[in-house]
Structure 1
Amino acid sequence: MKKNKIKEIGNHPFFRYGLILLAGIFLGWLIFSGNSKKQNSLESITAEDSHDHEHGDDHEIWTCSMHPQIRMEEPGLCPLCAMDLIPLQTTGSGDTAIDPNSIQMSNEAIALANIQTTRVNRQNPVKDIRLYGTIQVDERLSQSQTSHVSGRIEKLFVTFTGERVKQGQPIATIYSPDLLTAQQELIEAVKMKDLQPALLQAVREKLRLWKLTDEQIKSIENSGEVSPLVDITANTSGIVISKNVNQGDYINTGTVLFDIANLSKVWAVFDAYESDLPFLKIGDRLEYTLQSLPGKIFKGNISFINPILDPVTRTAKIRVETSNPTGELMPEMYTSANVSANLKQYNDELVIPKTAILWTGKRSIIYVKQQNTETPAFMLREVELGPSLGDSYVILSGLNDGEEIVTNGAYIIDASAQLSGKQSMMNETAGRAVTGHEGHNMGHDMQSVSAKGEHAMLKVQGLCEMCKDRIEKSAKSVKGVSSASWDLNTKLLHLDFDPEITSVDQIEKAVAKAGHDTENYKTDQATYDALPACCKYRS
């Protein structure tokens, strides 16, 4: 009975289908289980190979976001600031021609940063010097009108400053008791000329010294009439620039009545900074213009260079003589000039734009584009600067003819170098990992350097490029100041100095003494008045 029951269940179709399904599941498990083991084995081998390759060929470098010169092989803390180190992102292009210390940038990044390059060449440099000054009276054509006798001014024929006079024109009448006495002595001497001829000659000479003419003396001798009044005549033609007396004043012999200047010739007097003096010499041709006569150009040669510098403005006076037949050039008119000085001692030298140079205070740095590379790469280069040509500089060493340099965007490239931990304007020694005791020693060294140097900012008043030059030079003249840079827009003077040698207070005093107000010190009025017109910053 039981056997029949089992046989009946075995012949049932659902039972057969179930056995087939279980057999299929078992076979699938056997097949895929084997493949999985093989796959895991392959993955294990691949991972080990990859791990070995990674550690064998390219170790991960860790750096500090605040101190990119720190480069370590393991994560940890920065030895300088104790911040967590971050992995250094490398962007190798695979171009073996690229120097490992260079900064690589894609063409898209160069376009976005507006980085521009220029190929340098040799040329004969010409320095453009800008000078500012005023029209002045030719001192050789100025004369003082003095009284030759003592007395009282009875009448003035010239009554105001600026009046034009001619030579020989009466300018004043003087009542003089001494003159009256001398005329009476002349009449008495004439009566005794046969007995004492020498006395007559002495009295005549006395009157001549009082500027009486021989005709006037002869008239007194013949007429026997005397007068206490005498006319003072102009001894030159020109313009009255100073009136020192009024009608009714009592004067002595030698009293200056008027100052008269002949304006047929005038001087254009300019202020030249001491840094520009080596490039100026007597005889140089220059052109100058005046604000009051726009579009008109005057030309002349330098006739005199003052050998003494002004101790306040640090400038020397440069003089140019100019004819003024029409009188259109008036004293105290503002004028500006351009001088193109040929620097013959620097002929056939390399000249680069000013925008290509980065200054650190001690070093001058440029970025040179590497040649023959698929990816644009730029190398830092330290150069020695020659004289400034205004918008460019002469290069004495550090650069070769035909090299391509960055003329716009050098700061962006330098920032990339700093972030990459490579040599830059602020990081003179870079390119190697700093580990262990070396890192801690570097931290102590940097702290020592920081202790010896400080950075400060001062608010300094000024208006133009002349102000900028004067402010920076006065700050740098203080012993202990390593660098000074004044921003025309923000009016801030950035300083790097040694606090063991000087202080911000001393630097402020030096800048104020040069003619520019600071937050704590005001320049005196006389120094401020001596500044050129374009530098008058007070309202």
Structure 2
Amino acid sequence: MQGVLVRIPQTWLIWIGVAVVVVAAVAGLVAFFGPPADENADQSDVWTCSMHPQVRLREPGDCPICGMKLIPLSELTDEQVRVAHQARIVTEPVAFRELFKEVRTVGKLDFNERRVANIASRVAGRVDRVFVDFTGIEVKKGDHLVSIYSPQLVVAQTELFRALERFGQATPERQPQDRSFLDAARTKLQLLGILDEQIAEMERSRKELTHLTIYAPIGGTVIEKDIREGQYVEEGDSLYRIADLDPIWLYLDVYEYDLGWIRYGQPVDVRLEAYPGEVFRGTVVFIDPFLDDKTRTVRVRVNLKNSDRRLKPAMYASATIRVPLEPDGTPRPTGLEGKYICPMHPEVVQEKPGKCPICEMPLEPVPAPRLQLPPRGKRVPDATGADAKGKVLSVPVSAVLDTGRRRVVYRKTKDGAFELAEVTLGPRADAQRDGELIGYYPVFSGLSDGDRVVVRGAFLLDSQRQIEGMPSLLYAEGRGPANLHGDHGGHAPTEPASPMPAEHKH
């Protein structure tokens, strides 16, 4: 009998292959995960993983996620969980603490702009002698810098002598007019840089000066020198630039997310690579009114004492601004509130309104603190936990479980169990403990002074609560997924209490 050859279409072969692959995959998954546990099954017949409570199987074995041995759900009674976790759980008290926010940043030293003098020639002439002949030298106010021969000076002195002669010979009727000529001649010499003492000596001796000596208007360091002996200069030519380096300025770059913590008058700890281990103390004196669009930072100016001249312009520095917090998590007043300061000279601080003694601008008031602490020795039992010393009711950062929308802690009860507590917290801050910085949150609601909260082991407790279907971090109403490995029983997974935003679909 001759065989019959049956030709099978190619598309049929493709679909047969796909069916074989799907059947094999399903069989493998069932073999790997095992039969899913019925949500209503007896707890003695349900096996779960202590690290992955969503795993619930009908048979013992290993967790398909982490490989740990599965345990019967019935073994995890409240008392057994309490005993099993006690050795691994660490608690700390909720208490009133001195909290602060540390803002760390970097910057660079620079000249004090208000203490830099540009010295220019007031006359045209020839430089005959240079007394200060190199940069970097320290000068005092009134030190002579350079001597310039100037025909213009000779002409101005001649006018002075003629005015003196006319005034001495003037009749009483002409004396007022001749006096005005004399005053004009004196003023001209003053504008050329001649001192009043020198003018008085000219009038007494009637002896002309052929050279104009220029003196230092301020004390400081010569940072620029633009002349040499024998050089001819014109009126207005730059001769020297002198900078007083005490105090010196430090410009810090503060990121915009830290800017809200910065206040005028705050102390600043400054460290420089040139002096390892040393800390220099400065004060915030100005905050720029604009932000650098490229770096997203704002320049903050700090005044630093520099009487020994150890701090040099252009040195790089790192700075720490420690900001004590109010009970509501805001920066504590610096002590200047209610006083009056000069916007141009912030070091000028007065108790009463008036004018700046330096620039005569009106002094502006510093805003008063918006939160007054209670009298010393009393505690206010409010939600913020303010007390007489300004301490803040706080909880360790390590105790807080955070989804981004909801924060919870586990609080120890009187009978040794642990209960879930939802909390409202302020911005993260720090406190000093045993020489180290420990992170804390200000507590606005949910906890009281003296409560003990879990700082190590909270995730294990939360995992156990998810296994038991009790309220937990993700499931505020106590609902939890019965089986996330596959919904063979027709039960849809329960959605978390705080779902993530819906994914955008095209």
Scaled by the length of structure 1, the TM-score of the pair is 0.53
CA distance change for structure 1 residues 63 and 407 in 2, over 3 Å: closer, same or farther? closer
In structure 2, C-alpha distance between the alignment counterparts of 1:380 and 1:138, rounded to whole Å: 56
The one of 170, 192, 195 aligned to 1:210: 192
1:117 to 71, 85, 90: 90
Query: Is it true that 1:235 corresponds to 2:235 in the alignment?
Result: no
User: Structure 1 residues 192, 403: CA separation in 2 closer, same or farther (over 3 Å shift)?
Assistant: closer
Task: Choose from 427, 431, 437 the match for 2:480.
Answer: 431
Aligned counterparts of 1:344 and 1:426: Cα–Cα separation in 2: 29
Q: Which residue of 2 aligns with 1:319?
A: 302
2:241 is aligned with 1:259: yes
**Aligned counterparts of 2:230 and 2:128: Cα–Cα separation in 1:** 6
Mean CA deviation greater in 178-187 or 349-358: 178-187
- The residue correspondences of 1:131-530 to structure 2 (distance < 5 A) are 131-132=104-105, 137-151=111-125, 153-186=127-160, 189=163, 192-193=166-167, 194=169, 197=178, 198-217=180-199, 222=205, 225=208, 227=210, 229-243=211-225, 252-267=234-249, 281-282=263-264, 290-294=272-276, 296=278, 302=283, 304-306=285-287, 308=289, 310-311=291-292, 312-315=295-298, 317=300, 319-320=302-303, 322=305, 324-333=306-315, 334=317, 336-337=319-320, 339=322, 341=324, 343-345=326-328, 346=384, 347-348=386-387, 349-369=392-412, 372=415, 381-390=421-430, 391-411=439-459, 430-431=479-480, 433=482, 439=492, 449-451=502-504
The Cα shift of 1:207 comes to: 1.3
**What CA distance in whole angstroms lies between the structure 2 residues aligned with 1:424 and 1:177?**
94
Cα displacement (A) at 1:325: 3.9
- 8 Å CA contact 2:101, 2:324 repeated in 1: yes
Q: What is the letter of the counterpart of residue 355 of structure 1?
A: S
Q: Distance in 2 between matches of 1:264 and 1:64?
A: 68
Contact 1:385–1:397 (CA<8 Å) still a contact in 2?
Answer: yes
| Other structure's SS at 1:206 match | helix
1:348-403 deviations in whole A, cap 9, x for unaligned?
Answer: 55322222234333333434456636xxx755544222132222111222334444
Paired residues in the alignment total 373
1:212 CA displacement: 1.3
Distance 1:176 1:116, change over 3 A: farther
Instruction: Answer whether contact 1:119 1:402 (CA < 8 A) is retained.
Output: no
| 3-state SS in 2 of match to 1:159 | coil
2:455 maps to amino acid: T
User: Cα offset for 1:167?
Assistant: 1.9
Q: Unpaired segments of 5 or more residues in structure 1?
A: 1-53, 74-82, 99-103, 453-499, 501-539
Counterpart-to-counterpart distance in 1, 2:115 and 2:70: 77
CA contact (8 A) 2:426 2:444 kept: yes
Q: Tell me which structure has the larger Cα radius of gyration.
A: 1
CA separation of 1:119 and 1:220: change in aligned 2, threshold 3 A = closer
Change beyond 3 A, Cα 1:318–1:190: closer
Mapped to 2, the partners of 1:303 and 1:155 lie a distance apart of 43
Aligned AA (1:235): P
Contact 1:279 1:341 in 2 (8 A): no
1:500-536 Cα distance to aligned partner (Å, 9 max, x none): 9xxxxxxxxxxxxxxxxxxxxxxxxxxxxxxxxxxxx
The Cα offsets for residues 103-155 of structure 1, whole Å up to 9 and x where unpaired, read as: x4763x776xxx44223232143215255555554444443323322445454
Q: 1:425 to 1:219 in 2, by over 3 A?
A: same
Distance 1:371 1:66, change over 3 A: closer
Distance 2:493 2:195 in 1: 98
- Distance in 1 of aligned mates of 2:500 and 2:311: 62
Mapped to 1, the partners of 2:160 and 2:307 lie a distance apart of 46
Distance of 1:332 and 1:117 partners within structure 2: 49
Contact 1:352–1:393 at 8 Å: present in 2 too? yes
Greater share of helix residues, 1 or 2? 1
| Structure 2 CA distance for partners of 1:241 and 1:336, relative to 1, 3 Å | same
- Deviation, 1:237, is 1.6
Report how far residue 233 of structure 1 moved.
0.9
Q: 1:203 to 1:338 in 2, by over 3 A?
A: closer
Residue identity matched to 2:425 = L
Over the aligned positions, Cα root-mean-square deviation in angstroms equals: 5.0
Given residue 397 of structure 1, which amino acid in structure 2 is its aligned partner?
S
Give the structure 2 partner of residue 537 of structure 1: none
Q: Could you tell me whether the CA contact under 8 Å between 1:367 and 1:405 is conserved in 2?
A: yes
The change in CA–CA distance for 1:379 and 1:160 in structure 2 (over 3 A counts) is farther
Q: Note if contact 2:92-2:455 (Cα within 8 Å) is conserved in structure 1.
A: no
Structure 1 counterpart of 2:366: none
Change (3 A) 1:344 1:151: farther
CA distance in 2, matches of 1:279, 1:441: 42
Q: Does residue 91 of structure 1 match 2:131? A: no
Q: Distance in 2 between matches of 1:409 and 1:244?
A: 71
- What is the identity, as a one-letter code, of the residue corresponding to 1:357? V
Identity of aligned residues (%): 31
Residues 446 and 70 (structure 1), Cα distance of their counterparts in 2 relative to 1, 3 Å cut: farther
TM-score by length of 2: 0.56
Partner Cα separation in structure 1 for residue 201 and residue 268 of structure 2: 57
Instruction: Rate the CA distance shift 1:57–1:236 in 2: closer, same or farther, 3 A.
Output: closer
Label 1:440 to 1:356 Cα distance change in 2 as closer, same or farther (>3 A). closer
Query: Aligned-pair distance for 1:206?
Result: 0.9
Distance 1:440 1:411, change over 3 A: closer
